[in-house]
Amino acid sequence: MSAEKYEDLLEKYKKKLEKELGTAEKKQGIVRTKEYEEFRRELLPRHLSVYEKLCKFSENVLKVKPDPKREAELKEAISICHLKVSPAGTTSFALLFPIVFGVFAALISFLVFGSLFFPLFFLILAVVAIKPLDQIPIFLANNWRLKTSNQMVLCIFYVVTYMRHTSNLELAVRFAADHLGAPLGLDLKKVLWDVETARFESVKESLDNYLEGWKKWNMEFVESFHLIEGSLYEGSEERRLGALDKALTVMLEETYEKMLHYAHNLKSPITMLHMLGIILPILGLVILPLIVSFMSEVKWYHLAMLYDVTLPILVYYLGKTILSRRPTGYGDRDIAEENPQLKKYRNILIRIGRLEIKIHPFWVASLVFIVLFLIGVSPLILHALNPSPGFEPVYLGKGFEFLGYRESQSESGKVVGPYGIGATILSLFLVLSFALSLGIYYSLRSRNVIKIRENSRKLEEEFGSALFQLGNRLGDGIPAEIAFDKVSSVMAGTMAGRFFEIVAANIRRLGMSVKEAIFNPRSGALVYFPSNIIESSMKVLIVSIKKGPRVAAQALINVSRYIKEMHKVNERLKDLLADVISSMKSQINFLAPIIAGIVIGITSMITNIIGKLSSYMASISTEAAAGAAGGLAGFAGLFGDGIPTYFFQIIVGIYIVEIIWILTVIENGIENGSDKLQERFLLGRNMIRSLLLYSFVALVIMVIFNAIAAQIMTSTLAVS
């Protein structure tokens, strides 16, 4: 066989092997195995896969390529989020979706309402939406970074803690990956996966490749890992441990410094958000009743599109922009997501003997919504049953109306309303149907789980001192089985004492080993205190105790020192953000509902006065036309029908529900990072408290101001 034929045959079989084994794809840095696809599905939320499909569809229908600079930016964002889309696909979606939505919404709204307002509104909304939709990969990447950065301090803590007693980078990264949830835990699993699939030769090489993407955003995280890697090459044990300690110190100090700058720069954006999202829109509502009374073309649904659609989107976008700049900090996770045994606590649990009944909060929230919603729409139902203008099922006294339907001043034969004080009060129930159902759902969904996590947090606060005492006992040569019992008696009455007491009881009564007493899935101490920090500390104990009590004692003392340092920095971070957080809490719990309630009361009075004046002018217009009142004939046509306070209150109430929801999400994001469990708990509490306060203030102000207005109108104009 000639050399040329030999080379051709060799190349032919080499290509065949590359095709079958996927070697070519691995050289390009792409893994297409079945295991990786399963890993990626576990990694990404469901809504991102929908976004991927929409982007691919849009690229096939209308392919639009971004400019090279923008393409590089999108590629980086797509890589961070692990999305399977191209920059052209995201750009095509950002252009095609608004066009299709705008055209269809404009046509349907024109056919339904017969007005140009809604077609123009949807077309403008579609044009404005192009830029935010084009930013979706950037937004997702920022959100991913926020979630990841919240776990970076803990990540360095886990790696350093493990490497103090076992100087093995691969095992330390695996230890951190096992104790961190998504997304950083999954990123570290991907680092290990790239080594197992031969994309990189070593964990260090794979880790350095991963850290390249963080140099631009979290340099302290990169520096800390480089110090950890450098500890592997130190000649003496003292210098190795010094490098590890320095890695955690760098992470903690840089975290505090970056959060300090963030807290200083946060006041101006929060003030702008407060003014644009609460003060100016709500105070503007006082003027609107006067405007719409003189402009009959403005209807209640026009205000609804402005206040309940446009403004909330703007405030949400501003809030997310503020959150995207949040540096590395602390965040917590939903322990029910990671521990299947705790998922039942998301439900309402009713115990009857040994029987445990689970009721999903959705059904309770739905029942509350239906009852309150029917009460809220009852004025519309009563009017539908008896559409005559003067129909009043309940007499409220002189100057007050229950429904308040009347004939239109601008369109003859048309009945408008309800303007009555009774209908306006009932409209509060419609707003409460949304607020209380959401609040009850979120509260019941998170209440039990958050109690378990709060107990774990109390234990974490005490755990540094408890570990120090346990380490000292082990250092004295006392076996671990006895050391737990002694520390539990010293710390009796505390959460840490309770934890060690459970461990000691499992060893003494059930004959378990130390490992089983802590980690047993049925009766282990961690079942009652689910915490990654506590779990990792105990795993360090189990691994180090095999090397002798002295090694275990030193390991626990070092872990206790790390926990105390992290707790101290965490408290300093909370102190930095205290002013901003207290300001936002006052807006959510007090300012927004109080101001909105007062505005609704004033608006109700203004609308009532204008309505009475309009009726009074209409009644004397006949006399004016006959010459008895001269110029009053033209003056009667100045007032239109105005917007019924019933609809006006619903618009404002729904706006307050949306603003409370948005501000709660932003406040939780600033204070706790990406903590969905705490977010749900705060949403449940704030929705109930704030909207009940709003409803109470609106009710009191409406009754008082309308009583005053009715008395003045009756005495001066003899209007009843």
pLDDT tens profile 680-701: 999 999 999 999 999 999 999 9
Q: pLDDT tens digits for 626-647?
A: 554 445 445 445 555 667 888 8
Closest by CA position to 500, among listed 524, 475, 522: 524
Are 442 and 311 members of one domain?
Answer: yes
Asked whether residue 22 carries a pLDDT value surpassing 50, the answer given is: no
Cα 106 → chain centroid: 31
pLDDT of 373 higher than 90: yes
Q: Are residues 437 and 494 in the same domain?
A: no
Q: Is residue 203 part of a domain?
A: no
What region, left, alpha or beta, does residue 64 occupy, with left being phi > 0 and alpha being psi -120 to 50 degrees?
beta
| Structural domain contains residue 310 | yes
Instruction: Note whether residue 184 is domain-resident.
Output: no
- Count up the domains in the chain and report the number: 3
Q: Are residues 512 and 592 in the same domain?
A: no
Same domain, 280 and 426: yes
Q: How many CB atoms sit inside 10 A of residue 530's CB?
A: 19
From 568, 602, 637, give the residue that closes a domain. 568
Q: Confidence band (pLDDT; 50, 70, 90) for 11?
A: low
Residues 603 and 669 in one domain: yes
Instruction: Please give the radius of gyration of the chain, using alpha carbons only, rounded to the nearest integer.
Output: 33
Number of neighbouring beta carbons within 10 Å of residue 10: 10
Say yes or no: 583 and 685 in one domain.
yes
Q: For the ranges 281-295, 309-323, 492-506, which has the lowest average pLDDT? A: 281-295
Is the N-terminal amide bond of 393 cis, ω within 30° of 0? Answer: no
- Determine the average pLDDT of the residues in 72-90: 83
Residues 438 and 528 in one domain: no
- Reported as half-sphere exposure (CB side, CA atoms, 13 A), residue 210 has a value of 27
Query: Which pLDDT value is given to residue 6?
Result: 57
- Please indicate, yes or no, whether residues 583 and 551 belong to a single structural domain of this protein: no
User: Within 10 Å of residue 354's Cβ, how many Cβ atoms?
Assistant: 5
| Average pLDDT along the chain | 79
Expressed in angstroms, the distance from the first to the final Cα of the chain is: 115
Q: Has residue 162 been placed in a domain?
A: no
| The domain boundary residue, chosen from 538, 568, 598 | 568
Q: What is the pLDDT of residue 374?
A: 95
Based on the fold, state whether residues 349 and 466 are members of the same structural domain.
no
Owning domain of residue 91: 31-134
Q: Judge whether 369 lies within some domain.
A: yes
560, 678: one domain:
no
Handedness of CA 60, 64, 65, 69 (dihedral sign): negative
Residues 551 and 595 grouped into a single domain: no
* 132-136, 204-208, 542-546, range with the lowest pLDDT: 542-546
Q: Is residue 461 part of a domain?
A: yes
pLDDT at 272: 82
> How many C-beta atoms lie closer than 10 Å to residue 638's C-beta?
11
In angstroms, the CA 422 to CA 402 distance is: 4
Q: How many CB atoms lie within 10 A of CB 559?
A: 28
pLDDT given at position 33: 39
DSSP letters along 653-719, please?
Answer: HHHHHHHHHHHHHHHHHHHHSS-HHHHHHHHHHHHHHHHHHHHHHHHHHHHHHHHHHHHHHHHHH--
> Pairing between strand 348-352 and 355-359?
antiparallel
Regarding whether 564 and 614 lie in a shared domain, the answer is: no
Residue 159 lies in a domain: no
Assigned domain for 552 exists: yes
pTM of the model: 0.76
* 496-507 average pLDDT score: 88
Distance (Å, whole) CA 473 – CA 549: 9
Q: Is the predicted pLDDT of residue 27 greater than 60, yes or no?
A: no
Taking only the tens place, the pLDDT of each residue in 430-445 is 999 999 999 999 999 9
Domain end: 71, 101, 134, which one?
134
